[in-house]
Amino acid sequence: MMILKTFPTETLVMAFDSVRAHRFRSFLTVMGIVIGVTTAITIASILTGLRQNIVSLIEEYGSNNIYAFHLSTGDPAADDRAERTRKPLTDEDAEAIRTQATAVDGVAVVAPNLGSSGGNIVADGRSYKRGNTQGVSANYAAITNVSVAQGRFISDADDQQRRKVIVIGVNAAAALFADENNIIGSEVRLGGIPFEVIGVLEKRKAGLFGQNQEDNALFIPLRTAQKIVTESVYMLIIRARPGQLDDALDQSQEILRRRRNVKFDEPNSFDIKTAAKFIEQFDSITAMVGLIAIAISSLGLLVGGIGVMNIMLVTVTERTREIGVRKAVGASRRDIVNQFLFEAMTLTFLGGILGVALAVGISQIIILLIPSLPASIPPWAVVTGLLVSIAVGLVFGVWPATKAARLDPIECLRYE
């Protein structure tokens, strides 16, 4: 008697033939797989694109920078009542870090959001209300890699003499001045106070959703800001020497703890972070979004898996006589199990490929219609989507394959 055996290649051919023979039914069966894979990869592409933008943004400002605030940033568990009693950072804190920390290359002082009307700037009857006013020290440009397209940045003399000069971002310049060649030396009013425009910032290459806060920047000398607003909330930007970021962080933290009389067993009464810490905070947020995406896609995969199991059970019933013939000529239970498992996995694998193709198409449409919303499909998401789709076919194909393998060949041959 001739024993009929099927090798993996022949089994795959049989599986593809079965799927091709019932195209529409197969398509409807894997719709859940398609939706699950598409959802997961599309969300992963958006989150990956956002992360790449944030990393580029931080690197452009300076990956060797450390940021110190007197309030906690990005900590939902922080006690607001306790934080309100914290004393702000001061010029003396910045000077102490600058002179005492050997791993520090420089310290810039920033006093953000000066006054309720500080964002409203007016020139020649035109106004711009979205300005982001900040009082900055003269070394802010060097520490945060700011470039000036026209004019110059704030100097030490401007700061020491409390001059009323201002450097504006590209959005403010476009809104206030029709002729970009006559901006430098013009007079603008910020909060009703006249300022001379001495510079226009170069637009940053990196940004979030196509925007960067410096596009709306209104930079004035730090001491001028202190004169206008008596209560300023400081932020310190500390640049570490090359290769000494951790040392600079430790030294800066120790100096601030000592100056603020924080005991050795007490937590910091300020917040100090490296650029990498901001990326970690973003990753923690996207992890939650990713879990939600996994939950949504899992529902689609579950529905698709149930559909695959159902259609494979129908296929076993339809091909009962074929199973009987194969067993009669020598096919083992393992051969039958492999045949139907390969068919189930082939079905879900094709669904995974369709899901990946749809995700790629959707990501390209997002980039085309909303250029400010980044989307970048990571290779790991594609590989994972395909592997998961195959795994769904394997898991949900076990019962139909086992049922087919257990059929009695004599009863199968009698089946009408």
Report which DSSP code applies to 184: T
73 in the same domain as 52: no
Residue 389 lies in a domain: yes
Per-residue pLDDT at 154: 92
d(CA 97, CA 22): 73
Instruction: Locate 177 and state its tokens.
Output: 């001045």
137 in the same domain as 52: no
120 in the same domain as 52: no
Question: Position 65: which residue type?
Answer: N
Per-residue pLDDT at 76: 46
* pLDDT > 70 fraction of the chain, expressed in percent and rounded: 85
Residue 358 lies in a domain: yes
Tokens 């859940």 belong to residue: 32
Residue 3 lies in a domain: no
Residue 1 lies in a domain: no
Select from 273, 294, 325 the last residue of a domain.
273
d(CA 362, CA 357): 9
Per-residue confidence band for 113, with pLDDT thresholds at 50, 70 and 90: low
Report which DSSP code applies to 150: E
175 in the same domain as 318: no
Q: Is the pLDDT of residue 54 over 80?
A: no
313 in the same domain as 254: no
Residues spanned by the domain of 191: 64-273
Per-residue confidence band for 167, with pLDDT thresholds at 50, 70 and 90: very high
Distance between the two ends of the chain, CA-based, in angstroms? 26
304 in the same domain as 245: no
- Look at 24-28, 90-94, 398-402 and tell me which has the smallest mean pLDDT: 24-28
Q: Tell me: the pLDDT tens digits for 319-368?
A: 777 777 777 777 777 878 888 888 888 888 888 899 899 988 888 888 78
Contact criterion met (CB below 8 Å) for 200 and 70: no
The residues near 171 (Cβ < 8 Å, ≥ 6 apart) are 128, 130, 215, 216
133 in the same domain as 83: yes
78 in the same domain as 200: yes
98 in the same domain as 19: no
Q: Is the pLDDT of residue 64 over 80?
A: yes
Highest-confidence segment of 154-163, 311-320, 396-405 = 154-163
The domain total for the chain is: 2
182 versus 151: the higher-pLDDT residue is: 151
340 in the same domain as 231: no
Residue 119 lies in a domain: yes
For the question of whether the overall pTM of this predicted structure is more than 0.75, the answer is no
Q: Tell me: the pLDDT tens digits for 273-283?
A: 887 887 777 77
Assign 187 to helix, strand or coil: strand
d(CA 227, CA 170): 26
Select from 273, 303, 323 the last residue of a domain.
273
Q: Tell me: the pLDDT tens digits for 370-384?
A: 766 677 788 888 888
* pLDDT > 90 fraction of the chain, expressed in percent and rounded: 5
